[in-house]
Every structure is written in structure tokens, then in C-alpha cells.
Amino acid sequence: GENVEQHPSTLSVQEGDSAVIKCTYSDSASNYFPWYKQELGKRPQLIIDIRSNVGEKKDQRIAVTLNKTAKHFSLHITETQPEDSAVYFCAASTNTGGFKTIFGAGTRLFVKA
């Protein structure tokens, strides 16, 4: 079945460094790739997304890249801050035969001050 793999499961960086989280998806029909940030005890929040007709998208300190051929997409956070500490989930969505979103297992990011 459809699957989204996410790495690493845990990532610890020093404040000011960059963090990169990588995901791979299996369903070639996937055409929308959102990223969610979930702080402890809170709901997942959509922070950025990318569509299949775009290779890269940037929003201030965060950027996403997509390689459709390789079925890879990544989240890049630059100049990390302690408030970036959270669990990040990647996801892959298809819009054919009904809308469905498959989530990765999550990456717990720790930003050390």
C-alpha cells in the first residue's frame, strides 16, 4: 500500500544551525506534499506545502524541495531557534479516486540554545 518514510526520527541541532528532514513516498499519484509542526500537547499545524508541479518553495526560514522522479521531498529549516523544537510530519496526498493523505512517522527536532 501507500507509504511515506521519514528520516531522521530524532534530530538535535545547535541554535542557529540548519535542520533537514527527508521523506520518501511510494504512490506515484501523489501530487501534494504538506509539512506539519506539532508542539507538545497541541494540534498539528500546517507550516508549508508544495505541489507536484513545483520543485522548491520557500517561506522565510523554511523551505521545501521536491524531486518527483526520485519520489523524495525535504524540509529545510535555517537559523534554527529554540521555538522550532517540535515534532515535524511530512505527508503525501493524492486527489484521484478520493482525497487521501498519508503521514510520515515524524521527526522530533530539538534545538539547543
Contact positions with another protein (CB under 8 A) in 25-64: 32, 34, 36, 42-46, 49, 51
Q: To the nearest whole angstrom, how small is the minimum distance from the Cβ of residue 59 to another protein? A: 14
- Closest C-alpha to 82, from 45, 46, 39, 20: 39
| CA–CA dist 92, 87 (Å, integer) | 17
Looking at the Cβ atoms of 5 and 78, the one nearer to another protein is: 5
Residue 91: CB atoms within 10 Å? 22
The site for another protein (CB under 8 A) is made up of 1, 32, 34, 36, 42-46, 49, 51, 89, 93, 95, 98-106
